[in-house]
């Protein structure tokens, strides 16, 4: 996996003179402003969550993309070779961020009487037109979820092998009792469905997610 980055030509300028700026960034992980040190000198691997393309982006969303654009521009000015990757969520984002309810794409398709594919490609185009109008540079790599399903299945299979996921009625659940090594919000992972069955999920399955999540949450030490 790492070798792809080493070979990519997408990463603008040559690395090597990125020491003068002494960049300090706030890190949500540590909750402090820390001196920025990249994994590999002169190079920055950056991932930004992209839009769920079921509607136009509101200007609050666009503020985040403007911030990321500024970050990329500063890193490049400072001399880093940046590989900027952004996803397009064109499947799988349910009504609730915590993986409950229906797929936003499917609901939008019903609302607009178009296929989910038309919805996805149409709003993706609008998104990049908005970004261009805001002088937001296009990421080096834009990846659509629907074009990476094979990789996602392989990833979930490995999670199963690692004992971090279990299957009920064709749904794969992430085992929330599994402890990650670092943690973003000092919160435990909530219930998540790495894979959701297409057929209607029985009500018992949905209850199962909720109870599973709350059981694990309550068993943890929380300040």
Partner 1 sequence: MKWDSPWGVGFPGWHIECSVMASKYLGSHIDIHCGGIDHISIHHTNEIAQSECYYGHRWVNWWMHAEFLVLDKGKMSKSSGEFLDLSAVREEGFDPLHYRYLCLTAHYRSHLRFSWEALDGARRGLQNLYNRVIALRLTASAKAGRRAATDPAGERYREQFRAALADDLNVPVALSVLWSVVKDAKLDAAARLALVEAFDRVFGLGLIDAQPAELPPDAMAMIREREGARQAGDWAKADELRAKLAERGVMVKDTAKGTEWYLSETD
Binders of partner 1 among residues 15 to 34 (CB under 8 A) are: 20-29, 33-34
95-102 contacts at long range (C-beta below 8 A, 24 or more positions apart)? 98/190, 98/191, 98/192, 98/213, 99/191, 99/192, 99/193, 99/196, 99/209, 100/206, 100/209, 100/210
- Sole window of 175-183, 204-212, 214-222 interacting with partner 1 (rule: CB under 8 A): 175-183
Provide the sign of the torsion angle of the four alpha carbons 221, 178, 87, 140, taken in this order: positive
Q: Which of residues 81-110 bind partner 1 (CB under 8 A)?
A: 83, 85, 87, 89-94, 97-99, 103, 105-106
- Sole window of 14-22, 203-211, 215-223 interacting with partner 1 (rule: CB under 8 A): 14-22
Counting beta carbons within 10 angstroms of the beta carbon of residue 137, is it exposed (0 to 12), middle (13 to 18) or buried (19 or more)?
middle
CB neighbourhood size of 26 (10 A) = 9
Q: Which helix (H) or strand (E) holds 84?
A: strand 81-88
In the complex, the smallest distance separating the C-beta of residue 136 from partner 1, rounded to whole angstroms, is: 8
Q: Which of residues 178-197 bind partner 1 (CB under 8 A)?
A: 178, 180-185, 187-190, 192-197
When asked if residue 52 is in the footprint of partner 1 (CB under 8 A), the reply is yes
Cα separation, 179 vs 181, whole angstroms: 6
Closer Cβ to partner 1, 91 or 212, answer by number = 91
Among 15, 42, 45, 206, binds partner 1 (CB under 8 A): 45
Q: Which of residues 54-83 bind partner 1 (CB under 8 A)?
A: 55-64, 66-71, 73-74, 77-78, 83
Q: Which of residues 112-151 bind partner 1 (CB under 8 A)?
A: 116-117, 130, 133-137, 141, 143, 145-146, 148-149, 151
Token code pair at residue 11 = 């990463």
């Amino acid at each position: 996996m790492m070798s792809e980055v080493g070979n990519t030509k997408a990463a603008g300028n040559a690395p090597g003179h990125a020491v003068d700026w002494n960049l300090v960034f706030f890190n949500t992980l540590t909750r402090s402003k820390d001196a920025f040190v990249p994994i590999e000198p002169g190079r920055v691997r950056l991932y930004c969550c992209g839009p769920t393309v079921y509607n136009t982006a509101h200007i609050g969303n666009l503020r985040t993309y403007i911030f990321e654009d500024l970050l990329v521009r500063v890193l490049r000015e400072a001399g880093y070779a940046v590989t900027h990757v952004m996803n397009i969520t064109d499947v799988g984002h349910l009504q609730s961020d915590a993986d409950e309810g229906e797929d936003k794409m499917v609901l939008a398709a019903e609302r607009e009487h178009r296929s989910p594919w038309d919805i996805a490609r149409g709003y993706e185009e609008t998104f990049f037109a908005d970004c261009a109008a805001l002088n937001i540079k296009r990421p080096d790599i834009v990846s659509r979820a629907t074009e990476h399903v094979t990789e996602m299945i392989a990833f979930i299979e490995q999670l199963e092998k690692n004992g971090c996921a279990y299957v009920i009625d064709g749904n794969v659940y992430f085992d929330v009792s599994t402890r990650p090594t670092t943690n973003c919000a000092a919160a435990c992972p909530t219930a998540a469905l790495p894979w959701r069955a297409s057929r209607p999920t029985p009500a018992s399955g949905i209850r199962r997610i909720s109870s599973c999540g709350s059981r694990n949450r309550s068993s943890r030490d929380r300040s």
